[in-house]
Amino acid sequence: MLQRQAIPSPQPLRSACRLSGTPAFLSVCALSWAVVLGTPGQSQAQDVFLENNWDAPSQIVRNRAEAPEAVRQALVQWESAANAKDLRALFQGYGANYRNSDGLNRRALATSFRGFWKQYSNLSYKTEIVGWEKTRRGGVAEVVTRIEGSRNEDSRRLDLASTLRSRQTYENGQLVREEILSERSEVTSGDRPPTLQVNLPERVKPGQKYNFDVIVLEPLETDLLLGGLLDEPVSPKGYGNPSEADLAPLVDAQTGTGPGGIFKIGEAPRQESDRWISAVVMRKDGITMVTQRLKVAKR
């Protein structure tokens, strides 16, 4: 778990953030402006930054041309239905007993879609098959899904950009199982949201320590920079439910000193699971929120 200590702060901001999803659904961060608690955080520079490539191929990756035409067409139809927000057409390719690695079935997934589409009327979905492996009953496709969108909340515009990689199992022409391999979602707001470089491993072993670094790439100048972290288990209950992030100063506005980011050492839980690791960084004219998935597995 990432460690943090809560200390009251007068800063009038509250960030409620849930950035999570599956290839068929991505529930997104919502901002609300109210009173907040600040977190000082123990900033420490790390010697090594762990780089994460969200489009890196897994062991099953072959040539995308190897995927059968029926599977490629099914994903084209899924993309078209998602862009049209046509729930009936979207679920035509799903098996009756569909489940994903986050514990969602068809009904729960449909509920997530409705809630997400209600929040974001302006959305664009793009899918790409990056790998295929044939099985006796069908096959397994590795799919990258990218989602972009925007919405207005309290006269503020929120812009979403998400990339999700999944392993989809097809049997008898239908999608029956789905494993989320990696996930990154970013929501920005304001005229000048901070540009963040996030270094987080994609996978760690139970109990393993890991670095989580969030670096602001632009010059800080005299901005008062605030930041905070969230470390939460991935679960069906977490979809669509915003969480609060405690913020603390990262750079002193008078002296201009500070780490210019968030540098933490986390420790994975002892049990295998998936975690949502989130960072929020704010300055007077912009805010950026990023969530990445951390898989905790023995192998």
Place of tokens 């420490």: 44
Q: How far apart are CA 133 and CA 224, in angstroms?
A: 51
Rg of the chain, C-alpha, whole Å = 20
Residue 107 pLDDT level (bands cut at 50, 70, 90): very high
pLDDT of 221-259, one tens digit each?
A: 777 888 999 899 987 776 666 677 788 888 665 665 667
Q: Specify whether the CB–CB gap between 224 and 199 falls below 8 A.
A: no
State the average pLDDT for the chain.
77
DSSP 79: H
SS3 at position 77: helix
DSSP 78: H
Tell me the mean pLDDT in the region 268-297. 93
- The number of C-alpha atoms within 13 Å of 37 and in the hemisphere containing its C-beta is 11
Place of tokens 């302006």: 122
Q: How far apart are CA 139 and CA 171, in angstroms?
A: 7
Q: Locate 219 and state its tokens.
A: 């010059």
- Tally DSSP H helices, then E strands, for the chain: 3, 20
Residue 9 pLDDT level (bands cut at 50, 70, 90): very low
pLDDT of 131-185, one tens digit each?
A: 999 999 999 999 999 999 999 888 889 999 999 999 999 998 899 999 999 999 9
- Which residue did the predictor score with more confidence, 18 or 187? 187
pLDDT of 200-222, one tens digit each?
A: 999 999 999 999 999 999 887 77
pLDDT of residue 127: 95
Which CATH entry fits the domain spanning 7-296: 3.10.450.50, 3.40.50.720, 3.20.20.450, 2.40.128.690?
A: 3.10.450.50
Per-domain boundaries in the chain = 7-296
Q: How far apart are CA 2 and CA 183, in angstroms?
A: 19
Residue 21 pLDDT level (bands cut at 50, 70, 90): very low
The beta-strand segments (E) located in the chain are: 7-8, 14-17, 20-22, 25-27, 30-32, 37-38, 94-100, 122-134, 138-153, 156-171, 174-189, 196-199, 203-204, 209-216, 225-233, 243-245, 248-251, 261-267, 273-283, 286-296
According to the per-residue pLDDT averaged within each range, which of 12-16, 31-35, 110-114 is highest?
110-114
Evaluate if residue 260 carries a pLDDT over 50: yes
Q: Which of 155, 143, 158 is nearest to 82 (CA)?
A: 143
Evaluate if residue 56 carries a pLDDT over 70: no
pLDDT of residue 256: 58
Q: Which residues contact 264 (CB under 8 A, 6 or more apart)?
A: 2, 3, 41, 42, 44, 211, 212, 213, 229
